[in-house]
């Protein structure tokens, strides 16, 4: 009640008190004046109390501690403050929890998009922005189809609404696996994964099995044919028998080379090969490799030379000889008689380049980026005829990687191929 109400009531009572004082009995005047005093005091008390309440409310609103003499107001303010504190703590706890959850979802490698019941994007994490190539702020309130730029997403939402969850791989330059789950609270959560490399690995695995089977089937078929011919009377013909036995030996050698290369490559790829590190004289390394391939080169009429200074590298002698040997072997194999293969070492910056140049046909430009893949051949028929396993360059690449280096293939301007095995020249840490 406003204090004025008390004072307005006091006015007629005061008028009555005046009247009683003038013409009424004295007891009536005393009673009327007492009533006036009570009403005025009640008004004053009400005003003080109201002001105290207003001050306290302002202090609470300003977030200041309530300082009030009036014990009732102070009591009420303390109760309000304590409830406010509880609420504030609860709210801050909830906000911290929400922030933490957001941070966790934001650091996930998968894209996460929240879609509301109207099928509009509410929020997305950092990975979703990167995977979909959209700014998070701009995605808000857009339809999922607009941010995925794929109409299939509408279908997925529909299926998720009916069955609770739906998944589909969206094929394109990159393959995105999109899983939509309906939320109990309404709306959907959309999880996006980039499965391009998984798909590629799957394809490589499939190709690998197919390639190994093919590589083994061919020599096995010819071994079977020759064995059958020998069994069915071929042994009587001594000349034919000798030729077949030589060929059979070659096929067996080829298969064991393939198996050895496969074992080597899988060990290198799995990183289980322990390198025996030592400081090596590059000249001695190159000469050892060239010496091994000299008989093959001279049989083919290809000249083989070494050019090297006093470079040194750190590495595993046996593995480096194997890697470089594969390059020299190919160079001799693919260079026609009368050609030349040159092996050289050069220091460039803090790298040592072991270069193998040949005067062969070179490698068609479109095949260059892929020659280090397992079983990749620029000219399959010809390469198989040369007796290669199709794994030599893949092994060389992995030996280089294990040494912290790399291998590069190019065509020389004057014709022929150039392979470089690049190794860091610093000592192994
Ligand atoms: P392969 O056992 O078939 O030689 P590699 O892995 O050693 O397998 O080589 C892969 C392919 O790269 C070869 O099949 C060949 O087509 C090409 N190649 C490698 N070295 C040379 C070279 N010096 N000149 C021309 N082509 C080459």
Instruction: State whether CATH 3.30.450.20 applies to domain 109-194.
Output: yes
Residue 320 pLDDT grade (very low, low, confident, very high; cuts 50, 70, 90): very high
Ligand 1 atom closest to Cα of residue 394: 6
Q: Which atom of ligand 1 is nearest to the CA of 393?
A: 6
- pLDDT > 70 in the chain, percent: 97
More confident call, 97 vs 81: 97
- Furthest-apart CA atoms within the chain: distance in Å: 166
Residue pLDDT, tens place only, 255-285: 999 999 999 999 998 888 889 999 999 999 9
d(CA 6, ligand 1 centre) in Å: 110
Pick the CATH number of 277-424 from 3.30.420.40, 3.30.565.10, 3.40.50.970, 3.40.50.300: 3.30.565.10
Q: Which two structure tokens, joined as six digits, stand for 57?
A: 């409310």
164 Cβ neighbours under 8 A, 6+ residues apart: 181, 182
Is the pLDDT confidence value at 428 over 80?
no
Q: Strand 351-358 to strand 406-411: parallel, antiparallel, or no bridges (unpaired)? A: unpaired
Query: Degrees (nearest 5) of the Cα angle 391, 343, 270?
Result: 30
Ligand 1 centroid–CA 369 distance in Å is: 12
Distance 273 CA to ligand 1 centre (A): 24
Q: How far is the C-alpha of 406 from the C-alpha of 420, rounded, in Å?
A: 8
Q: What percent of the chain has pLDDT over 90?
A: 66
Identify the residues whose C-beta falls under 6 Å from ligand 1.
326, 330-331, 334, 358, 360-361, 363, 371, 376-379, 383, 388-394, 417
Q: Whose CA is nearest to atom 3 of ligand 1?
A: 390
pLDDT at 130: 93
The Å distance, Cα 307 to ligand 1 centre, comes to: 23
Residue 188 and residue 155 in contact, taking contact as beta carbons nearer than 8 Å:
no
User: Domain locations in the chain?
Assistant: 3-90, 109-194, 201-270, 277-424
Ligand 1 atom nearest the C-alpha of 356 is 23
CA of 374 to the centre of ligand 1 (A): 11
The residue whose CB lies within 8 Å of the most ligand 1 atoms, and thus the one to mutate among 393, 398, 409, 415, is 393
Q: Is 422 within 8 Å of 345 (Cβ atoms)? A: no
For residue range 215-257, list pLDDT tens digits in order. Answer: 889 889 999 999 999 999 989 999 999 999 999 999 999 899 9
State CA 129 to chain mean position distance. Answer: 14
> What kind of architecture, by CATH, is found in domain 201-270?
Orthogonal Bundle (1.10)
Q: Give residue 54 CA to ligand 1 midpoint distance, Å.
A: 92
């Amino acid at each position: 009640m406003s204090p004025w109400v008390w004072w307005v009531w006091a006015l007629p009572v005061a008028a009555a008190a005046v009247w009683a004082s003038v013409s009424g009995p004295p007891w009536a005047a005393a009673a009327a004046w007492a009533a006036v005093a009570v009403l005025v005091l009640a008004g004053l008390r009400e005003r003080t109390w109201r002001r105290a309440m207003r001050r306290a409310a302002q202090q609470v609103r300003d977030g200041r501690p309530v300082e009030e003499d009036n014990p009732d107001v102070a009591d009420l303010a303390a109760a309000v403050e304590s409830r406010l504190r509880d609420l504030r703590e609860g709210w801050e706890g909830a906000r911290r929890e929400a922030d933490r959850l957001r941070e966790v979802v934001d650091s996930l490698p998968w894209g996460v998009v929240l879609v509301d019941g109207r099928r509009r994007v509410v929020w997305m994490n950092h990975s979703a922005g990167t995977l979909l190539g959209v700014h998070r702020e701009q995605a808000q309130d857009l339809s999922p189809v607009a941010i995925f730029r794929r109409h299939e997403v509408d279908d997925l939402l529909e299926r998720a609404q009916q069955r609770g969850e739906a998944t589909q791989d969206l094929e394109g330059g990159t393959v995105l696996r999109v899983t939509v789950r309906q939320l109990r609270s309404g709306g959907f959560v959309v999880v996006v994964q980039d499965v391009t490399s998984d798909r590629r690995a799957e394809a490589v695995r499939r190709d690998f099995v197919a390639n190994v089977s093919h590589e083994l089937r061919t020599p096995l078929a010819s071994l079977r044919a020759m064995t059958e011919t020998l069994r069915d009377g071929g042994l009587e013909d001594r000349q034919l028998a000798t030729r077949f036995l030589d060929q059979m030996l070659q096929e067996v050698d080829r298969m064991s080379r393939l198996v050895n290369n496969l074992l080597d490559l899988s060990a290198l790829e799995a990183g289980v090969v322990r390198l025996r590190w030592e400081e090596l004289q590059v000249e001695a390394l190159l000469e050892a490799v060239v010496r091994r391939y000299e008989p093959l080169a001279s049989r083919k009429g290809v000249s083989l030379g070494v050019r090297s200074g006093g470079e040194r590298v750190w590495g595993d002698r046996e593995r480096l000889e194997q890697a470089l040997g594969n390059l020299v072997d190919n160079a001799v194999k693919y260079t026609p008689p009368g050609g030349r293969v040159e092996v050289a070492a050069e220091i460039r910056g803090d790298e040592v380049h072991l270069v193998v140049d040949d005067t062969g046909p070179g490698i068609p430009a479109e095949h260059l980026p892929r020659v280090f893949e397992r079983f990749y051949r620029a000219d399959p028929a010809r390469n198989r005829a040369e007796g290669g396993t199709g794994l030599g360059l893949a092994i060389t690449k992995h030996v280089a990687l294990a040494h912290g280096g790399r291998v590069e293939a190019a065509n020389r301007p004057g014709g022929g191929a150039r392979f470089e095995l690049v190794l860091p020249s610093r000592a192994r840490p």
